[in-house]
Structure 1
Amino acid sequence: MKRTLVRLGVLLLSALAVTAVLLALLTPFTADDTGGYGATATEIPDFRVNRLGERDHELTVDSAALGRDGMVRVLLPAGWKPGSGPWPVLYLLNGCCQAEYDSWITDGEAARLTAGYRALVVVPEGGAVGFYSDWRDGPGWETFHLIEIRQILESEYGAGERRAVAGLSMGGFGAMSYAARHPGMFQAAASFSGVLDTRDGETVSRLLERHGESPAKLWGAPRDPAWAAHNPADLTGSLRGVRLFVSSGDGSPGPLDVPAAARDDGEATLFRQTRTFTERALANGVEVTADLYGPGTHTWPYWRRGLERALPMLMGSIGAAP
């Protein structure tokens, strides 16, 4: 009889343990969490500020998630001062393979385009091919952006709970993946020529391998469930309540290209992915503004225009209209 009771106790504990694991896997990482997906950050990271201008702060963050210093640019709104707030926040995420982490400012004219809005504009480092994720074997970009940087913004810059996120190419992936994977954290998201269906072709794997990285270190083997768990096209049902803007060209030379521009097959692939994402989002009852503008390549003139077109919606969604 005692042995039977012991066995029943072991089985009950095992069942409870399995249930706990399943609940942990099914529970979303929300805006109120201080950890998740392996994150253990509970204290505000140390950081240094380099004041590049009246409204332009460059932060060097001692990031436990990255295992090294991480960089962030913060553009301050008119009227900001220490202790003020709460301020809405717009994150601008960069694409892959760019030499400068802050290309939204150096090439995208983000300072000029956002100058009239009363919001913090945050441009974080994202790695050459970081793909806005906590790698299985590598840096924790998701934790760096959504926990460590968020803690600094809230404690030192008066950031509030109203947030929007936008990005180009790899950053478009990051914007939609972050908004879907963290319900309630973002009120709006935008993608410009974004990687919005990571399981369409081998776009992600080729970019990683081109930079000497193994795709398995990111989300595991291509059929691993983690690929779908990060893929915007597979997560559209989680974007209900988030206002979306997506744009892409079809890869043929367009009105903003130089006269000698050639066809851009990469942009054509992203056009197809953006269309797939949009169709799935609309089918799931998500509010999407789609600017599938036809001729246009994978270049800055189109991304600047995309941001300019999306800004009224992005800023309006977080209460930061001019």
Structure 2
Amino acid sequence: MLRRSTPAVWLGAFALLAPGAVVDRSTASAAPRAEVVAETAVAPRTVDLTIGSPAMDRREKVRLLLPRGWSRDAGRTWPVLWLLHGGVDDHTAWTRDTDVADLTARSELIVVMPNGGRCGNYSDWWNYGRGGSPRWETFHMTELRHILERDYGAGRERAVAGNSMGGLGAMLYAARFPGMFRAAAAFSGYVDTLHGHEPGDGSTGWGPSFSCPGTDWRRVWGHPDHQAAIWHAHNPADLAGRLRGVRLWVASGNGKAGSLGGMPFTDPVEAAAHANAHAFVKRLRDEGVPVTTRFFDGQHDWPYWQRDLHEAYPALMRSLGLPG
């Protein structure tokens, strides 16, 4: 496994690296601990980390947006916004397809955008009972979180948001780690993974399969009947009561083209997400858990997710004690 070293040329602030510059931080070590092995300055405030991860049994990427004036020796911490990407995408998604860098430019926070795999579903996979990698939840919530808190000034004030599969991840992490996040937002998220399933119908992954075609759901969580406990433990709708005390935001279009454009027919992916969102919100309200909702004409695409982030951003910031 790889171990961190701190070259003398590393001056403590990514702003001092030109975009594209790479600092190799790898040395040999016997300890099986997740470590940053390279840091790459991509753009002002934007840094990509390469992490050697025992949970993943490989190297994984994480993109950070750092607050202006950030440095390792600042003697302080910053609130953290975890921003999770959707299926068939990666850690570059939010900076590639939205103006999140501009949106957060004046906010005193760290934005964390980890790779979550093509269809990782923000879970430690069952793997037909064998376990082992990929273990996305462990990579994010244990390995990466510890690295950020130890070496990058990440504080304990956290919020999480995501689109599509990332919306599932946002609600999963908030529910599965009580007290970890002050706020969670899902944009077109598949937040009721068993929506539409009837025991014995032989199907898996109804909602999620739309955004992750070809995924072997029995590898992810097992069979929804035979491994029902695993499915329920990774279904935000079934965990609704554990979200009490978290500021929640749920947004989804209905599949029809809205004010930001779209296809001239109903988008089946967003229509399914819309049904998921309504089912999830009903479970929250049945549990007496407050939630802010935003339902609209719209489709499963970035113009709508950028707007979702802008609309949810003030609430997310207030949850972190920052100006909205």
TM-score exceeds 0.5: yes
Moved over 3 A (4+): 41-44, 205-208
Matched, 1:57 2:47: yes
Matched, 1:198 2:207: no
2:38 matched residue in structure 1: 48
For residues 87 and 278 of structure 1, what CA distance do their matches in structure 2 show?
31
In the alignment, which of 83, 86, 106 is matched to residue 95 of structure 1?
A: 86
1:186 matched residue in structure 2: 181
For residues 47 and 316 of structure 1, what CA distance do their matches in structure 2 show?
34
TM-superposition CA deviations, 1:78-99 (whole Å, max 9, x none): 231113321110000000012x
For residues 122 and 250 of structure 1, what CA distance do their matches in structure 2 show?
29
CA drift at 1:205: 4.7
CA drift at 1:42: 8.1
In the alignment, which of 257, 260, 268 is matched to residue 261 of structure 2?
A: 257
Matched, 1:169 2:140: no
CA drift at 1:279: 1.6
1:153 matched residue in structure 2: 148
2:104 matched residue in structure 1: 114
Matched, 1:282 2:282: no
* Contact persistence 2:164–2:211 (CA under 8 A): no
1:14 matched residue in structure 2: none
* Contact persistence 1:83–1:157 (CA under 8 A): no
Give the aligned CA root-mean-square deviation in angstroms.
Answer: 1.7
Residue identity opposite 1:292 in structure 2 = F
In the alignment, which of 72, 75, 86 is matched to residue 82 of structure 1?
A: 72
CA drift at 1:161: 0.6
CA drift at 1:47: 2.6
Answer with 1 or 2: which has the greater Rg.
1
For residues 272 and 207 of structure 1, what CA distance do their matches in structure 2 show?
14
Matched, 1:247 2:247: no
Ranked by relative contact order (alpha carbons within 8 Å, sequence separation 6 or more), the top structure is 1
* Contact persistence 1:44–1:151 (CA under 8 A): no
1:316 matched residue in structure 2: 318
CA drift at 1:117: 1.0
For residues 237 and 155 of structure 2, what CA distance do their matches in structure 1 show?
29
2:199 matched residue in structure 1: none
CA drift at 1:207: 5.4
* Contact persistence 2:34–2:52 (CA under 8 A): no
| TM-score normalised by the chain length of structure 2 | 0.82
* Contact persistence 2:92–2:113 (CA under 8 A): yes
Q: Which range moves more in the overlay, 238-247 or 75-84?
A: 75-84
State the aligned residue count: 277
* Percent identity for Structure 1 against Structure 2: 47
For residues 285 and 73 of structure 2, what CA distance do their matches in structure 1 show?
41
